[in-house]
Structure 1
Amino acid sequence: MSRLRAVVLVLVLGLGLAVQAEAQARIEYVPSAETQFQQAGQLFKSGQIDQAAQILNQLAAARPLHQRSSAALVLLAKAYYRLGRCQDAVQTAQTFLKTFPQSRYLPYARYILAACYAKQGRARDAVPLLAETVATTRDSALQRAAFRALVVLVSRLDRSTLHRVSRRIRDDRAASYLELAEVEVALQRGALSEVIRRGQDLAGSTDVKAVRKRAKELVSIARQLQRGNLRIGVILPLSGYYAEQGKSLLRGIEFALKRNKPEGLQLDLVVRDSESSLLRAIQAAQDMTVDDRIIGVIGELEGDKSIAIGAITSSHHLPLLVPASSLTGVASVGEYVFQMNADLERRGQALAEYAYNELGHRTYATLAPADEYGRQITDAFTERVDELGGSIVAQAWYYESAQDLSRQFKMIRKLGFLRFIADTLKAADSTLVVVPKEKVEAVWKALNDTLKANAKPGDPTNLVDDEDVPVLGIDAMFFPVYTEDIPYVASQYAFYNIRAHPLGGSYWYAPEELRKNKRYVDGLVFVSDWFLDETDPVFLKFRDDFRLLMHANPDRWAAYGYDAMNLLLKAIREGASTREELKDSLEQMEHVQGIRGETTFKGSHRVNSEVNILQFVGGKITRLK
């Protein structure tokens, strides 16, 4: 009966009564009743139940009705129950139900009454009350306690008695919960065929979302038990170069399993260490394909290894969920490969769409590393800008070191000036559709000649070298650079005085580097596959629970693992118990909220189409979209 502590908490804290007497009796405010009730609550909490009951009895009997009448009756019924005076508890609870039929405390009174009936051996009377409690309470703790008690009592009644009891229930929601309890009992008895049949019928007929969800889970569990324990394979680098990240991701997987595995589900993890080796990853994937009990695999950490094992698992119709790689093309190696992070192509497109549609930018320049990452995301960004009707004014690349980007920034400055001249000329002459190149260059030459003619010794002789003159012809500048390049790129960007809104890729998600370079890139908007909002109550609960269960702090890799395992658990809860069913379920997922962001595979060729658009402003990172 410890679950009934929820009653005390609600009452003692003095939450509003919201009660209405059946006969519309007048309720008066009596100051002394408030003092007495608080005293009774303190006595109850300290274990002095007898003394509390005496005060509560006086409050409940007092007339006219006052602001604590209903609360006193409920707490008095509980006090009688705790004292072993079940008949007094029954009479008190019944008095409450008759006097205050609209009270928010009705579920608590019904639960106390049901507990008394159960103690008196009147299970047939307790069951309808418990079903109504589960169906009507908004207190999740009370609902869980009432449903567990309902399952216990249902297990003690035969079918004919249950049938007679069910006919006494008039509320459809309560009837659905009673039937769900019967399916739970069937699972406990091992009647798997009955669970599947009745669970499917219930899921298809009830309007109660929670009942429908649990009924589907029970059907899935029964099917799995018919086949033996389900298994999920995990291939990660638990030793070698990426061991730290791999172990953290595995902790996230294990935490999701501990926290969110449906009750009764038998699910095992089969974990293999790739040793940060492509060969070992391939061998692990080959081993997993021959175990029919493995219905899905999570792995690997790196893109090349994910592609290799994806080709193997897909050829054996074994779904692979890639939790971390953003490399474009990973999911294309097979129809059973799902990429949880948006790839570089989608990230570039999403940022371009946000910059154009939400920020209103029309002219752009880019500066990126000339490697696979830089070219993939930049190409996607610029192509989408073109499709939207924007203009790429300049594109620059760098190889290896970003310490000296003077050549690139000077080129961008020149092209930015030329664009500004063209836009100015066009604005001055509305008949111009396209400004002739010769006219732009003539103005450019004239401006530089004027600057040179008026220059003093040591002064710049052209606009490109005169950093005091800002470049205004570029709305936004895209820098998909690596974290270690941020200090060099940010400072040189500011030095060359390009007045464009800075945009970035996921490697800008480096709070310490951003704070160090705040004066250069404040207002930066960038795209990321993850975002941990430390002001969000959901994340704070996740973090605290993770620390308690895993004895470690969660990082981005743990969030990847947690979200990946939850996607598989969601599919299993919804009935997936084979490789094909898991694949079909994953393909239909859309807007599934995780710790690091949302996941949508539906209509996106098995690559997550959701990205986080973030902004660094005032020293903090916030999510824009």
Structure 2
Amino acid sequence: MRRSCSGSRPGFSIRKDMVHLARDQGDTNLPKRSALVETGAESGSGLRGECNRALRHLQGWRRLWMLVSLALIPILVSPALAVRLSPQADRDFELGLSAYEQDDLREARKRFEAIVESPDNQRTSAALLMLTRTLLRAEQFRGGLDVAKRLEREYPNSRYAADVQLLIGDCYLGLQRRYEGAVHYAGLLDDLTAPIALRASAAERLTVIFRNHLISRDAQGRIRSRVGTEGLLPESLLYGEGRWYARLGWGPQARERLSEYLRTNADGIFAELARLRLATMGGGGAAPAMQVDTTAAVDEWQTSPIRPGVPRLGILLPLTGQSEADAAIASVGREILDGIRYANEEAGEPFDLVIEDTGARYVDFEGEVLPVRQSEGSRLIRVVKGARWLIEEGGVEAIIGPIYSTSCVAAAAVAEAAGVPLLAPLAQQSGLDSLGRHIFQLNPIAEVQGQALAEYATLVLGLETLAILSPLSDYGAAFERSFTRAATLNGGRIVMSDQYFPEETTDFHRQFESLRRVGFELQPAQERVDSLATLDSLAVALLDTTLEGEWTFIEVIEGVVDEEPPDSSEVFLNSVDGVVVVVEHFDDAKTIAPQLHFHRLETQMLGNDIWYDPEAIHAMSATERGHLAGCVFVTRRQGGPAEQEFLNQYRSQRQRDPGYAADGYDAARLLLDGWQQGHGDRRRLRDWLEQVREYDGASGRVAFADDRRVNSALTLLRIDADGSAQALGAEELPVIVDDQFSADLPAADLPAADLPAESDPDEPVEDESWDSDPDQGS
């Protein structure tokens, strides 16, 4: 009889049809909610599931069967079995996807992370994709990049491979690593197997990078060489430009570019998408929604496309930087740029904004970005080249920027030579406006601040004896000279002037001990104990019979002679009316103020405009704010209606505080006002700016006076105990009394003949002039 064999021994079964659970599901947009299960290769080799027909009879073949079974064990526990079907993963994925669609990013991240942290299952790769998108939407670009790289590394054959390339590019773009982003977009664009929708998204992103000059011309050339398909990049940039216009809501421009694309690329790879977009736009020109909502984080520093016949405004700011210092200044640049864009949008976008980034990135041979700080020489070279490019190729009517004073000097020379107005929003370099009539500074320079503070201190506050502590820098020296000159002319007296190293000096014991010695010298002369006084007091004590208690002669002497004077360090000094503390960084103000109080100096603390940093002050403790309370400083900010209105509107629209956006807003607003009032070329715009005498802006007042193009609109504010700044009221200012004749004798001490006679108010007063007295003739 023929015996049939199951192919396994009792207790050890082999499944012939192994189900291979797919790691990859979903489409190019959002993964499908149904769990896809793909059937793959069987989990064993040809031996798996087959009967060894040699085992029909004879126990001698048992050993051979054991060997075959042992050989099958590694196959049975292959990695394919590590991917398992997890109902909990399906539930978490459903909840995470719902949270993502409802913009509940915290819950979405929690659900997707629960899946990817579990053993591999049918939802792992889809969860990695959605976790990347969640982090991108939350603007956590570094974390999103790490997750996307993991998806690319662990699932190289995933059906999400093209999606991953787009997301990696978006992460790099959010990190300001624009060249790396462009590399991934170009790779996706040239991938003929990628879905056309993803390639269209890559085309639009490349258009943003190229048209806004977010990477250098050399870098653009390297990107072109990466796109192997001939003519693909120009075609993609043309389509991407039309799609970009449509997303911005500019219907006519979008239709013109998409129509141009169809005329020149009737059978192009994006032809069907272009026809569909034109059909959906109709006559309204509304922009369809983006497929992937990851460009919102990039919009903050993107600019408008170039429109034919529209005047252009140049922006020369550092927007990128990898080192800690460069990244900090780049964040300031992006805030200023956002303020410029805000003003342009508010006015109906009469200007096209042309950006030139003066920041820099350093990449090694493997493409990794290095945290290298840009040298001053490199920065100046980039500033000069950027200013030239904006003027010669960008065709701008005016330039806003840069940030650094040294960079402004370089840019000012280029702008003046070309006759292009340049507005420096933050630079406080003295003499910058002397480079030419086209240079305007919105931030008051050291000389203007020093003079204004001295006039307030002497003429308004009535301070006479003054000390000044300034940084060892050209800014500090200019402030000190201007303050000293103005205070001396107004009757003030500089009793001490000292310096410190900005951002380096932390111990100001030497400076304030010197000031105390000066204060003691200014104190009125006090009675001193001498030998004669000691003997006189001793005689009085010995003859005094009212002394109570048992006193010995020695005790009486010691009580009179050995009495120690009070410790001078415990004495509060008020002989110095005011101390001017000039700072270049608010951190120095935080360091100096408590030490001034510690040294028991009862004086009026005075400061320059950098003393007031609202965000930093509000982050301080109540004790720390108490050290700043009472400081009077000079500033162009006064908390007026224009400043408050901008603050409220900006917070409402941007959902954050403006920071330096207010400075960018004012620079752009001045140019917009002049242009819209009919001053429609460079020369007339410059002449109009020179006549600005009173502008109440978002960052404070602006006024160019006395043939200077430096802001001279300043006011006096005081820091309160709660950290707020308030204007000084009339009741807080001292009454300055003319005490020239205060030494006259009182009337009671005058002879009766010299007392003034009381006259009847109805009696006419006779004229007793000198000329009427003959005895006083000569």
Q: Which residue of 2 aligns with 1:230?
A: 311
Q: 1:319/1:584 Cα in 2 relative to 1: closer, same or farther (>3 Å)?
A: same
Deviations 1:46-72 (A, max 9, x none): xxxxxxxxxxxxxxxxxxxxxxxxxxx
Contact map agreement 1:587 1:606 (CA 8 A) in 2: yes
Q: Which amino acid aligns with 1:340?
A: L
Query: Within 1, Cα distance between the matches of 2:469 and 2:709?
Result: 30
Q: What's the counterpart of residue 249 of structure 1?
A: 336
- Output one character per residue of 1:133-152: Cα deviation in whole Å (capped at 9) or x when no partner: xxxxxxxxxxxxxxxxxxxx
**What residue number does 1:388 align with?**
490
CA contact (8 A) 1:514 1:521 kept: no
Write out aligned runs for 1:157-306 (5 A): 228-240=309-321, 241=326, 242-261=329-348, 266-275=350-359, 277-291=379-393, 293-306=395-408
Structure 1 CA distance for aligned equivalents of residues 521 and 603 of structure 2: 15
The one-letter amino acid paired with 1:233 is G
1:522 aligns with: 629
Residue segments in structure 1 that go unaligned for 5+ positions in a row? 1-226, 425-442
Q: Given the superposition, is the C-alpha separation of residues 406 and 557 from structure 1 closer, same or farther in structure 2, using an over 3 Å criterion?
A: same
Q: 1:362 to 1:546 in 2, by over 3 A?
A: same
Q: How does 1:370-449 map to 2 (within 5 A)?
A: 370-399=472-501, 401-421=504-524
Per-residue deviation, 1:293: 4.2
CA distance in 2, matches of 1:479, 1:595: 27
Pick closer, same or farther for the CA change 1:267–1:399 going to 2, 3 Å: closer
Secondary structure of the residue that 2:523 maps to in structure 1?
helix
TM-score by length of 1: 0.54
Contact 1:324 1:340 in 2 (8 A): yes
**Structure 2 portions without partners, runs of 5+:** 1-307, 361-378, 534-556, 729-778
The aligned residue for residue 713 of structure 2 is 610
Matches within 5 A, 1:582-597: 582-597=685-700
Closer, same or farther: CA 460–304 of 1 in aligned 2, 3 Å: farther
Correspondence for 1:70 = none
**Preserved contact between residue 335 and residue 658 of structure 2 (Cα < 8 Å):** yes
Question: 1:418-497 residue pairs with structure 2 within 5 A?
Answer: 418-421=521-524, 466-481=568-583, 482-497=585-600
Question: Shift of residue 403 of structure 1?
Answer: 2.7
- Give the Cα separation in 2 of the matches to 1:593 and 1:289: 29
Q: 1:297, 1:319 within 8 Å by CA — same for their partners in 2?
A: yes
Q: What is the alpha-carbon distance in structure 2 between the residues aligned to residue 538 and residue 581 of structure 1? A: 26
Q: SS in structure 2 opposite 1:341? A: coil
Cα pair distance change 1:600/1:381, threshold 3 Å: same
Structure 1 CA distance for aligned equivalents of residues 725 and 659 of structure 2: 16
- Report what 2:731 is aligned to: none
**TM-score, normalised with respect to structure 2:** 0.44
Aligned mates of 1:361, 1:280 — CA distance in 2: 47
Is 1:323 aligned to 2:410, yes or no? no
Who is 1:354 aligned against? 456
Q: Which residue of 2 aligns with 1:500?
A: 603
- Judged with a 3 Å threshold, the aligned counterparts in structure 2 of structure 1 residues 271 and 364 are, in CA distance, closer, same or farther, namely same
Residue aligning to 1:345: 447
In structure 1, C-alpha distance between the alignment counterparts of 2:438 and 2:426, rounded to whole Å = 17
Please, which moves more after superposition, 301-310 or 500-509? 500-509
Equivalent residue, structure 1, for 2:681: 578
Change (3 A) 1:555 1:604: farther
Which one scores higher on RCO, CA 8 angstroms, separation ≥ 6?
A: 1
Letter in 2 for 1:545: Q
Contact 1:393–1:419 (CA under 8 A) maintained in structure 2: no
Q: Is the 8 A contact 1:514 1:619 kept in 2?
A: no
* Alpha-carbon shift at residue 316 of structure 1 (Å): 1.0
Q: CA deviation at 1:529?
A: 4.3
1:537, distance to aligned residue in structure 2 (A) = 5.8
Is the partner of 1:467 in helix, strand or coil? helix
RMSD (Å) for aligned C-alpha atoms: 3.2
Q: 1:266 to 1:260 in 2, by over 3 A?
A: closer
Separation of aligned partners in 1, 2:697 and 2:527: 53
Query: Is the Cα contact below 8 Å between 1:386 and 1:392 reproduced in 2?
Result: yes
Q: Does 1:545 align with 2:626?
A: no
1:620, distance to aligned residue in structure 2 (A): 3.5
User: Matches of 1:540 and 1:514 in 2, distance apart?
Assistant: 25
In 2, Cα distance between equivalents of 1:455 and 1:249: 72
| CA distance in 2 between partners of 1:355 and 1:514 (Å) | 29
The answer as to whether partners of 1:230 and 1:267 remain within 8 angstroms in 2 is yes
| Secondary structure at 2:315 match in 1 | strand
CA separation of 1:548 and 1:619: change in aligned 2, threshold 3 A: closer
**Matched letter for residue 518 of structure 1:** R
- In the alignment, residue 624 of structure 2 is paired with which amino acid? N
Q: Which residue identity is paired with 2:331?
A: E
Distance 1:357 1:515, change over 3 A: farther
* Distance in 1 between residues matched to 2:578 and 2:461, nearest whole Å: 10
- Match of 1:503, SS state, is strand
Conservation of the 8 A alpha-carbon contact between 1:547 and 1:553? yes
Deviations 1:311-360 (A, max 9, x none): 11101111101111122122122221001111111111111111122211
2:188 corresponding residue in structure 1: none
Shift in CA distance, 417/495, structure 1 to aligned 2, threshold 3 Å:
same
- Pair 1:492–1:605, CA change in 2 (3 A): same
Q: State the partner residue of 2:661.
A: 558
- For this pair of structures, how many residues does the alignment match? 367
Post-superposition offset of 1:409: 1.0
**TM-superposition CA deviations, 1:283-326 (whole Å, max 9, x none):** 11111222584211111111000111001110111110111112
The alpha-carbon deviation at position 455 of structure 1 amounts to 12
Specify whether residues 257 and 266 from structure 1 end up closer, same or farther in structure 2 by C-alpha distance, changes over 3 A only.
closer
Q: CA deviation at 1:514?
A: 8.2
Output the amino acid matched with 1:271. Answer: I
Measure, in 2, the Cα distance between the counterparts of 1:334 and 1:445: 63
Q: Which has the larger radius of gyration?
A: 2
SS at the partner of 2:397? Answer: strand
CA 1:406–1:566: 2 relative to 1, 3 Å = same
Go from structure 1 to structure 2 and tell me whether the alpha carbon gap of 1:257 and 1:444 turns closer, same or farther (over 3 Å shift): farther
Secondary structure of the residue aligned to 1:284 is helix
CA–CA separation in structure 2 for the residues paired with 1:323 and 1:460: 63
The CA distance in 1 between the partners of 2:354 and 2:699, in whole Å, is 25
The one of 306, 309, 312 aligned to 2:411: 309
Answer yes or no: is the 8 Å Cα contact 1:530–1:556 preserved in 2. Answer: no
Amino acid at match of 2:582: P
- Rounded Cα–Cα distance in structure 2 between residues aligned with 1:387 and 1:514: 40
The change in CA–CA distance for 1:569 and 1:461 in structure 2 (over 3 A counts) is farther
After superposition, the Cα gap between the structure-2 partners of 1:589 and 1:487, relative to the gap in structure 1 and judged at 3 Å, is closer
Query: Secondary structure at the residue paired with 1:415?
Result: helix
Give the drift of 1:578.
0.9
